[in-house]
Every structure is written in C-alpha cells, then in structure tokens.
Amino acid sequence: MAKRQSHPLAIFGRIFPIGHFVMSVLFIVCAFTLIGFACVLLWQSLQPGGMTLTERRDGVLEALALVTVGLAALELGETILEEEVQREAHMSAPTRVRRFLSRFMVVLVVALVIEALVLIFRFSHSAPENMPYAAMTAFAAAALIIAWGVFIRLNVAAEELEPEAMQEAKDEDRKVNVKR
C-alpha cells in the first residue's frame, strides 16, 4: 500500500485554524480585561470622596469608551472564532467576504459612533477647541457606513453568480447555532 504524499504547503492549511483560534482567544481575553478596567474605573468614579464632579464624569465617560472597545474586541474574537475556526471558512467566496466584513463593520461603526458621542460630550464641557477631532471620528464612522453600503451593493452581482455559496452559508449558520 503506497503512502499518500501531501503537498508541502498543506501543513499551513492545518496551522491557520490554530492561529485563528489563538487570535480569537487573545481578542476575547483583551475584551474582558478592558471591561474589567472599565468596571474598576466606574467603581472609582462612583465612590464618595476626593473627586470633583468633572473628574467623576470623565471617569464614567472613560469607562464607557473602554467598554465600547472591549465590545468591539469581543465581537471580533467571536467573528474570527465562528468564521475561521468553527466554519473553516475560506475568504475566496464573495458571500464569505461580505458576511465577515459585515459583522466586523457593524462592530467597528457602532464603536466609532459611541466613541464620537463620548468625545463630543467630553469636549463640549471641557475642551471645545478639540471638537473637530470628535467630529472627525463621527465623519469616519459615516464614511465607513457609506463605503460598506457601496461594497454590499457592488457585491450583489458577484453573489448572484454563486447561489450555492449563499445556501451553504445558511446551512452552516444552522449548524453553528445548534452547537451554541
């Protein structure tokens, strides 16, 4: 019986899911660490004593910003885990690319919008000269939404070329949701 030889690059095909799993775990650990820092900061801001109202407000706003970044990291970790490890998805199909980018863009845009609101609130009270920086963050979120919409619109034609990929993705969704 002849021993089957594998392609020398096939080992990379086995390494990538492990790398994606490690990255996903790191994102999740970072997310919970940031959320923990936010809890500590919030707790300190609520404690009676030595802080002014402005310092307390800034502490709460900073905690909100940390939770937002933590949420983005948690969602990105979950997306990588589901798309790259559980599904072993390959990003060559337009359906896969759209799904992965859509999940990531939702998290990113929500995080940017919340950060812009935090900055606007903070700068409007303490440093109005910095309002253009807050506005730029809001404009960046708007630009991302527009670019994402254009991408989705242009991607529709590519998805129509392979309807079986969309059905396969829906079938995998059912499998992944059952495993939860």
Contact predicate 20/88, CB 8 Å: no
- Give CA–CA dist 51/67, Å, rounded: 22
Average pLDDT of the chain, as a whole number: 82
Which one has a higher pLDDT value, 40 or 1? 40
- Give CA–CA dist 88/21, Å, rounded: 11
- Give CA–CA dist 121/113, Å, rounded: 12
Copy the structure tokens of residue 153.
């619109």
pLDDT number for residue 90: 56
* Phi and psi at residue 119, to the nearest 5°: -65, -45
Mean of pLDDT values over 136-157: 88
Q: How many residues does the chain have?
A: 180
pLDDT bracket for residue 126 (50, 70, 90): confident
pLDDT number for residue 179: 56
- Give CA–CA dist 100/104, Å, rounded: 6
CA atoms within 13 A on the CB side of 105: 19
